[in-house]
Structure 1
Amino acid sequence: MHGRVDGAEGFCAIPGCGQAGEYKAPVEPANFNGPGSWRLLCLDHVREHNSAYNYFAGMTPDEISAAQTPYGGWERATRAFSVAGANPGPAWSDFTDPLEAIAARFRRPQADPAQGRFTGPERRALAVLGLGGDIDRTALRKRYSQLVRRYHPDRNGGDRSHEGRLGEVIGAFQLLKGAAAFR
């Protein structure tokens, strides 16, 4: 039966009752707020206990009416749902079929253009230069010039702290300038 405590041992908590106490009931029903303290009652006494409970006791008629509306409790402020770093879904207005809109939300992102044009080491070299896969030879040379000027000691008053990064940029450019994607 619903509400029965499995494995409950002992008698009903009502004095003089000799039946098994198998159902949980709060000790103070009028002041129940959370886990509190419980007592075990027999089926007859738990029914009597539950019939005496009145959720609306102490409320004004307006409060009772407000609690009984389908929107009761929704007037409280809540936090907005976040996308937790995920890309926001597509706009519903872009679709005529709701199922298409739902499917678009879960489609895999389009492959990076660099995947087909460049090999693995070439993609790593592009990352060193901060470039994507949709570049041409002119954009490659322009980015290489910018980075060499930024990291070269002659442009930084003799500061040699960026030599390691400069070496990475030069190595990446040397690899990419002979890439098959630019032939």
Structure 2
Amino acid sequence: MRTLSNIMTFLFTVSVVALLLYYLITRIQFEDPQGLFYKKDVPMPTSLHPVVEERKEELVTTVEEKGINIVITEGHRSMERQDKLYEQGRSTEGNIVTYAEGGESYHNYGLAIDFALKTDQGQVIWDTEYDGNGNGESDWLEIVEIARDLGFHWGGDWENFKDYPHLQMDFGLSIRELKNGKRPKVDEHVGED
């Protein structure tokens, strides 16, 4: 009787382990169909992704045609700069400007830009209600709408931490995937709307 009980326990354990392995393997294949593990040795980008660069230029041209003076204040951001920004308001003076440490921002992967407005007097401002072109609409929100049409996601739409100057293209990739070496393919996205 004891032998039968041991056999049943063994078979149950093997079944549970087999189900767990099946679940993990299918999950890995779904999340990473190109291989069982992410590539961790992929170099970090050092500039904006070509599509983000192209759309940034389109954004600047389009908003300037509407009489809006835009300034791109940030594009690709190094891990070191990201860490310094993260320290701001925590271990260094100033207000908290980000909740992302190095490697946790789309800027670090060349997939995000920040913008501001420039007044006719040359002053750079972050005023979301400013109407410099005098058409009765917020220049900031006009920029956001144009950016959305170009494929950007706006940080002002985020639930927890509103990042009004932030525009990003994630190409369907999470920060976790980017940290683990996944990158958007250039040739699959160039020229797409």
Give the TM-score band, short-chain normalised: under 0.3
Relative to the length of structure 2, the TM-score reads 0.21
Q: Which gives a bigger RCO, structure 1 or 2 (Cα 8 Å, sep 6+)?
A: 2
Relative to the length of structure 1, the TM-score reads 0.21
Structure showing the higher strand proportion among its residues: 2
Max Rg structure: 1
